[in-house]
Structure 1
Amino acid sequence: MQFQELDTPAALLDLARVQRNIQRMQEKMNRLGVKFRPHVKTSKCTEVVLAQLAEGAQGITVSTMKEAEEFFAAGIQDIVYAVCISAGKLPRALALLRQGCDLKILVDNEQAAHQVCEFGRAHDQQFDVWIEVDTDGHRGGIDPAGDELIRVGTVLQQGGAKVGGVLTHAGSSYELHTQEKLVALAEQERAGCVLAAARLEQAGIRCANVSVGSTPTAFAAEHLEGVSEVRAGVYVFFDLVMHNVGVCEMDDIALSVLTTVIGHQPEKGWVLVDAGWMAMSRDRGTANQHRDFGYGQPCLLNGAPVVGFKMISANQEHGILAADDSTHSIDLIKAFPVGSKLRILPNHACATGAQHEWLNACEAGGNTTPWKRFRGW
């Protein structure tokens, strides 16, 4: 089916852009001499992940047990579950291990470490546990220079688990937009995680893996001495947030939402489309950046942005397109009559992708193939 024939709203993947994005990241990691472990929460799609592995990625990162189970069923064994494990998920982790999955789980506090060890001992299982460290004050993780790191490592040596490595995520990179600051944060991320590993080793706790990563810091890193692997996810599709950060151009963004014009409000200069927040998500990640794209950037069917316009508002099934400001003279209403179609680039590819059950993989000639995107936790 040609993509213009799809019922709307529909998620489109530009396959040429996807492949170019995969190659660009893998080439950077190869130059830096580190293993690359993509974060698959962006696509949650087997076809996309297999393309990443085919290009040279080694193992995957997941954010849900559902992802771990689905990708293991697809034949991928080397998996890091990069969210602090809760006790209720340990039976599912155990089931994967006993089926042959090389699953690594994460903790970032003493209580979670004790729970893993107690469960492991009770089930005669040694879990491979990585400790999350906080290198930028963004979210979870232990201070790499603090005492808790050694306490957690010591707990994990008491049976039922072993320390497999340390892991960090410089999520604050999404708030930056200059190369100088991104380079500095990439080095801060690297140095902090390497420090954590060194301190564990000095305490007699073996730490074989040092895992860092975010899409911006992966591209900004100038060297990765002491790092064994890098993780990044959104690079495979990119989005408007990443465009604002400065790590991609508009024509690198591989995910868009195909939508149909369903009405106009001439007195307001509005074009109404059938892609609301149920299709685009409510993510407003660009709102606090230097350029606000509203709920998304409208594009022509060939992918060219309609300059000066954005999705200014979204209801559940209605999107509203309008000019950024009064200086744009294009008559959007005449240019896009009822029944015409547009593509909308998303603020956050992970959030927009999550609204759709299928990703319509689009070849250069416009032919599409539906790729399943799974959901759930």
Structure 2
Amino acid sequence: MADTDTDTLLETPLAGLHRELGGRMVGFAGYAMPVQYPAGILAEHLACRAGAALFDVSHMGQAELRGEGAAAALERVTPAEVQALRPGRQRYALLMNEFGGITDDFMVANLGDRLFLVLNASRKAVDLAAIGAALPAGVALVPRPDRALLALQGPGAEAILARLAEGIAAMPFMGVLETPVAGIPALVTRSGYTGEDGFEIGTPAEGAEAVARALLAAGATPAGLGARDSLRLEAGLPLYGQDIDETTSPVEAALTFSLGKRRRLAWDFPGAERVREELDHGPKRLRVGILPEGRQPARAHTPVAAGGVTVGEVTSGGFGPSFGAPVAMGYVARASAEDGTGLELMVRGRAIPARVAPTPFVPHRYKRTPILQGAAS
């Protein structure tokens, strides 16, 4: 992420607060966003792992899907089982193209009278067009650019948010609750992209700063894009446009958990032919975790070799502050994808030994409840 002339970029409702807190603003997905605050990326990362960090993710797309048959209509563009999603629950899902590639990954929540979608910032226009084109009469897609979105992440998140809103402690992982936060109407989901327990809090744009200030006053640490990226990398979570894109299938991306069981029987989603072929016979490549030896990180686009032959490429890489060593993800040929397989990473003209390793590098700490494990979510 490089500094950009932020005068030409869009701003979130929290732009003034970011600057007040000393945020270093950079261009990201068309928005001026804080990459870090004065404490630095390392401190923000560790604050999330040990306590709670607050991220502004208002640049992401938010939309509602309304009307009878909305869930069935959304299934025209995703292999997720949206019709099985219970009210008060949320699910990770993929938008697919006809070639079996991933148009985007997104979150869908069932609010009872409507579905609520959260889309990646860089893809929201593409996503809205693709979903809108698939809808029958009577189902409406309503973008919500009037809303902000905050992510409160870390083991201390529950205690902080519970001081400002009711019903927080009882929420399960991927649960959804409409409740005021600090007196502001909000849609709260128990989710995030750091591997930690946490919440995403959607509010009207005009109420976002009041909610953010209340969360910071209650003990949250402001955190920017830099820490968000290092946290999700340690958690083994793919980033759209970097680890997955329109050429990547759910099978080679190791995202087959997002394919609904019923959908695998019907094969009635875009790109199903490729997905079925790869499930039956294996993909040519697979997304894997990679651990370089030593202290030198391997960044995106680093060539990966096995036995002197190039077998793939790093898609995300850096130093894992909590892991205490470099970590990476990337795609390698299926024959080189087994855990423990020796690799060489070509960094600055020299080969660095590495090995395939399971992800996450830092264990996930989502709040699971025995009652809901294995149930439709």
TM-score of the aligned structures, taking structure 2 as reference length: 0.30
Higher helix share: 1
Higher strand share: 2
Max radius of gyration: which structure?
A: 1
